[in-house]
Structure 1
Amino acid sequence: MSLKKWTELDIDHLDLVEVSEMEKARVKQHVLKKHKRAPILRNIAVASIIVLSATITTGFAFPTIASQIPFMDNIISYFTDDERSTNFENFSTDVGLIETSNGTTVMIENAVYDGTNITVSYAIETERPFGDESSTLSHHSFNVEDSMGGSGSREIKRITDTRYVGIETITPFFKDAQHPETVQVKWEPTIIRDNEGAEIEGDWSFAFSLKRLEGNVALLNETVQNEDVLFTLQSVEYTPVSTIISYEQVVTDELLKSWESVTPVFRVSDDLGHVYLDELGGGGMSHDNGKTFKGTTEFGTIQEGASQLIIQPIEIASLNFGKGHIEIELDPIVIELNQ
């Protein structure tokens, strides 16, 4: 609109367009300040625009919008206990990227890189109800530059008819297991689906970088074995948000003749009785068809007062695809925490 037309505009006869709480929050962004900002990997042109149409795709990178939208405040609290939620909030990077496409808004709230895993909290708001109370959503995963692949986990919760919150943990695999000091993360969901097959298409695109969270690494190289599996707990890293165990195992050719894959899960507890993992595992990879397997597993921070961490590997020898498996329990490894 030209300046002349703008000055002659009859504001008493404008057609008003109703906006969501998320849109209102954007208007407030220019007076907000951030605590910590993830570097954005794209150029953003900023202009003052009045939009009277809901059909335009918009992209924003305002780092404190989450705090202005109630359902987006501290997303991780929907998925974990108070202590871990507080740790994540205190040490994560405030990403604050938000894009709307075809009436659906996607936002990345916070993210943290602990040197092994990347954890991202995000939210989705649809224009109209999508699915029912039992619906779960799926989408394309996050990509990490220079990684050779990866594994991870995802959980999405429906909190209203049109709002979802999600938490995703990505474990990228890098050459020679050398994790960089900074990771470049991209996410282009493209299509969001529910478990009934309904789809929402859009043009959402995010890119940001994260610096590695500093932690203390204890090199262990503790080994346990039986006749078929040699398991080595290489190290434990303690960060403000997580505890990460790194391991390597070698299995015999005889075991692999009977089972297609052999991978570990863990029981992890401390001497005070706190349980951190109960037969759960993490990501890993093999370059020799499963004979040698390297991986990491992450869990929360150690409870105050604990003096020992007990880690018991349990090997899952499987035929895969639900065709059957057996469990092989190895001896626990006890780590002294106060040394």
Structure 2
Amino acid sequence: MKKLYKQFNNLNIETDLEPMEVSDLEKERVKKNLMKGKKKRHISRNFSVAAALLVASSITFSFAFPTIAAKLPIMGDIFELFNNDEEYVFEKHNTYSTDIGLSEESNGINVTVTDAVYDGENITVAYTIKSEKDLGDRPILEGKLVADEFEDKYEHSGFSENYIIEKISEKEYVVVYNYELIKGPKPDEVHITWEGDTILDLNNVSNAFLGDWSFQFTLNALESETQKFTGGSIITEEEGIEILVTKMTETPISTTLYFSEAVDIRLIAKEDEELRVVLIEYTVSDNLGNKYNTIHYRDIGHSTDFPKTRRSYPRLTTTNFHEEATSLTITPIVNIYKKKDNDTLLELVKEPYTIEPIHMPLNK
């Protein structure tokens, strides 16, 4: 590290520099990084900290010389803009992401894919949307994401999509798109073709703009490590409910917990005739008191329309756990719904309630 700083000090940098224009995205990145300066960063238990130290050095250099930083292409910066979002699980994505840098303009709307990363569990794409038009509050690029290696396994189902969107100026938005591979192949390399045909406001789906945006890029899977739990060793039970953790997969950027849920909905809802729906949410914390954001794939959930014995197989994606943590506490929260006024909408039957937490050791 001392050698690295010595190299910085020996750089021949002209001190008589004129101010340069900085993009709204870069301004927002600088502001967010300064605001989060006091936050504690977690380092993975299973992977080297060398890469994190190198990134820290790079950030220090960028802020020490902001004029130089303004000249550099935006790489991995979008992920950092969402660190206050409740679904922010992208703490290390900027370290491992691939620089894409592809732009397409259609119908007066420019979409630029800046970065993407594939860890064998998820494909995560960061991109910007710019337009003189009013695109609404939460616009996304909607279309089909496919890979040659997937064949047709994900064509109609077996995947889940999540978006985090932020409007950073009147004309520019940043988006993190997370494509979860649920039921299908997880190859070591994917040749992605992403065909977008609509800019859609998620807050107002009638606000849509047709166009043609096409991107192609290749991603290699990051290394991963999977631990399977057999014989129902990681479990919680309550009358009418059984929840097991079946396996855990860790990569350099994420941890995915897989569950098996069995719910006797007629028993816990005390209803045989009227429709009832049960969805189980989860909170995750460790023995050090750290709480973890999650992206929750809920699978089919539970309904009185289903056979009594039908299971649901949800999963949680989160960050790597703190390197000093030795156990997790996973708390299920049970939500029971019914139809609202004979409509398609659902409303809670009663207040959500927790059941006995799952206590899960973390192997060192």
Category of TM-score, reference length = shorter chain: 0.5 to 0.7
- Map 1:130-279 onto structure 2 (within 5 A): 130-131=134-135, 135-144=137-146, 145=150, 146-147=153-154, 148-175=157-184, 179-194=186-201, 195=203, 197-221=206-230, 222-252=234-264, 254-255=266-267, 257=272, 260-277=276-293
Structure 2: state its 5+ residue gaps.
1-22, 24-69, 340-344
- How far does the alpha carbon of each residue in 1:146-175 deviate from its partner, in whole angstroms, 9 at most, with x for none? 213422321221112221110111223325
On the 8 A contact 1:269/1:277 being kept in 2, the answer is: no
> Partner of 2:29 in structure 1?
none
Identity of aligned residues (%): 28
Q: For the structure 1 residues 305 and 169, does the alpha-carbon distance in structure 2 shift closer, same or farther, using more than 3 Å as the test?
A: same
The residue number in structure 1 matching 2:15 is: none
One-letter code aligned to 1:220: F
Distance 1:151 1:102, change over 3 A: same
TM, length-normalised to structure 2: 0.63
Shift of 1:242: 1.0
| Residue number in structure 2 paired with 1:80 | 83
Mean CA deviation greater in 308-317 or 83-92:
83-92
Determine if the alignment matches structure 1 residue 123 to structure 2 residue 128: yes
Count of aligned positions: 267
User: What's the secondary structure of 1:202's corresponding residue?
Assistant: strand
Aligned equivalent of 1:25: none
Question: Aligned-pair RMSD on alpha carbons?
Answer: 3.2
The correspondence of residues 270-289 of structure 1 with structure 2, limited to 5 A, is 270-277=286-293, 281-285=296-300, 289=306
Verify the 8 A CA contact 2:76 2:95 in the aligned structure 1.
no
Higher relative CO (Cα under 8 Å, sequence separation at least 6) belongs to: 2
| 312, 320, 335: which one aligns with 2:331 | 312
Distance 1:67 1:202 in 2: 31
TM-score, scaled relative to structure 1: 0.68
